[in-house]
Amino acid sequence: MPVHFACSAWGNSPMVGEKRTLHGIIEAVQGAIITPEESQNSLVPDNPDFYRALLDRVGDGVYFVDRERRIVYWNEGAARLTGYKADEILGKNCQDNILCHVDHFGKNLCQDGCPLSASISDGESHQAHAFLRHKQGRRVPVSIRVQPMRGADGSIIGAIEIFSENSAAIETERKMDAMIRLAFLDHLTLMPNRRFLEMSLQTALSEYEVHKDPFGVLLIDLDKFKKINDSFGHAGGDRALQETAKTLLGSLRPTDTVGRWGGDEFLAITRNVNLESLRELAQRCVVLIGATAVLTGDGKRIPMTSSVGAALSRPGETAEELVHRADKLMYQSKTSGRGRATIE
Phi/psi of residue 319, each to 5°? -60, -45
Residue 261 CA to residue 163 CA, distance in Å, equals 32
Closest CA relative to residue 303, chosen from 311, 294, 316: 294
Q: Within this chain, do residues 190 and 301 fall inside the same structural domain, yes or no?
A: yes
Q: Within this chain, do residues 89 and 161 fall inside the same structural domain, yes or no?
A: yes
77-105 pLDDT, tens digit per residue, is 999 999 999 999 998 988 777 888 888 77
Question: What's the number of CA atoms in the CB half-sphere (13 Å) around residue 60?
Answer: 13
Residue that is last in its domain, among 165, 185, 219: 165
Residue that is last in its domain, among 105, 131, 165: 165
Q: CA-CA-CA-CA torsion for 186, 191, 196, 198, nearest 10 degrees?
A: -100
Mean per-residue pLDDT, 279-308 = 88
Residue 143: helix, strand or coil by DSSP?
Answer: strand
Q: Within this chain, do residues 172 and 318 fall inside the same structural domain, yes or no?
A: yes
Residue 194 CA to residue 186 CA, distance in Å, equals 8
pLDDT at 12 over 60: no
Residue 227 CA to residue 223 CA, distance in Å, equals 9
Q: Within this chain, do residues 173 and 301 fall inside the same structural domain, yes or no?
A: yes
In a domain, 63, yes or no: yes
Answer whether 172's CB lies under 8 Å from 250's CB. Answer: yes
By annotation, the residues acting in catalysis are 264
- Let me know how long the chain is: 344
Q: Within this chain, do residues 62 and 13 fall inside the same structural domain, yes or no?
A: yes
Residue that is last in its domain, among 120, 142, 165: 165
Q: Give me the domain span that covers residue 259.
A: 168-343
In a domain, 161, yes or no: yes
In a domain, 131, yes or no: yes
CATH number, domain of 295, equals 3.30.70.270
pLDDT at 323 over 70: yes
In a domain, 89, yes or no: yes
Residue type, 170: I
Q: Within this chain, do residues 194 and 251 fall inside the same structural domain, yes or no?
A: yes
CATH number, domain of 144, equals 3.30.450.20
Q: Within this chain, do residues 184 and 229 fall inside the same structural domain, yes or no?
A: yes
In a domain, 120, yes or no: yes
Residue 272 CA to residue 260 CA, distance in Å, equals 22
At residue 175, the pLDDT reads: 74
In a domain, 1, yes or no: no
At residue 50, the pLDDT reads: 64
Q: Within this chain, do residues 194 and 140 fall inside the same structural domain, yes or no?
A: no
Residue 102: helix, strand or coil by DSSP?
Answer: strand
Q: Within this chain, do residues 155 and 114 fall inside the same structural domain, yes or no?
A: yes
Q: Within this chain, do residues 128 and 207 fall inside the same structural domain, yes or no?
A: no
Q: What's the Rg (C-alpha) of the chain?
A: 23
Residue 236 CA to residue 197 CA, distance in Å, equals 26
Q: What's the pLDDT band for 286 if we cut at 50, 70, 90?
A: very high
In a domain, 61, yes or no: yes
Q: What's the pLDDT band for 35 if we cut at 50, 70, 90?
A: very low
In a domain, 282, yes or no: yes
195-236 pLDDT, tens digit per residue, is 999 999 999 999 999 888 899 999 999 999 999 889 888 888
| Number of domains making up the chain | 2
Residue 131: helix, strand or coil by DSSP?
Answer: strand
Residue 200 CA to residue 306 CA, distance in Å, equals 23
Residue 261: helix, strand or coil by DSSP?
Answer: strand
Q: Within this chain, do residues 220 and 206 fall inside the same structural domain, yes or no?
A: yes
Q: For the chain, what is the mean pLDDT?
A: 82
What pTM did the predictor assign? 0.64
199 CB-near residues (< 8 Å, 6+ apart): 184
Q: Within this chain, do residues 89 and 23 fall inside the same structural domain, yes or no?
A: yes
